[in-house]
Amino acid sequence: MQDYNHVEIRGTIASEPTFRDTRNNSRMAGFTVVVKRKAPSSAKDYLDVIAWGDTASAMEGMFFQGDPVELSGYVRKQFYVDDKGERKNRCQIIAERVFRPAEDIGSVPPDIVSGQFGEAAV
């Protein structure tokens, strides 16, 4: 059996996406998506998402806090040392595709953002 790391998420952008350029001049977008769990649970999960390169660039000015969103990508566990010298870790979703849910298209300009193809398409 071959290992497989793939996620598909559908939810609402819970935090205003932040955009920046890295030292290597690559565009990065960071945001949180809130996802309701299946009934009967009323719990919600808040998931940290990172998009890179063309996917991040195409998101800018198109996705905002409160927008419905679908994305696909993979889960990454990041290890780091904080300002106090303590070892920490966190899980993030790396978004390779970010798009609006099909039923939302029409009320907002349609767009599909694909890191694989590096384009926004209508």
Q: What is the DSSP string of the chain?
A: ------EEEEEEE-S--EEEE-TTS-EEEEEEEEEEPPTT---EEEEEEEEEHHHHHHHTTT--TT-EEEEEEEEEEEEEE-TTS-EEEEEEEEEEEEE--GGGBTTB---EEETTTTEEE-
Mean pLDDT, consecutive 10-residue stretches, the chain (122 aa), reads 93 95 93 92 93 94 95 95 95 95 57 36 32
Per-residue pLDDT, 21: 95
Per-residue pLDDT, 51: 97
Per-residue pLDDT, 120: 37
Per-residue pLDDT, 103: 72
Return the number of other C-beta atoms located less than 10 Å from residue 6's C-beta: 9
Per-residue pLDDT, 105: 53
Per-residue pLDDT, 111: 40
Per-residue pLDDT, 101: 87
7-121 belongs to CATH 2.40.50.140: yes
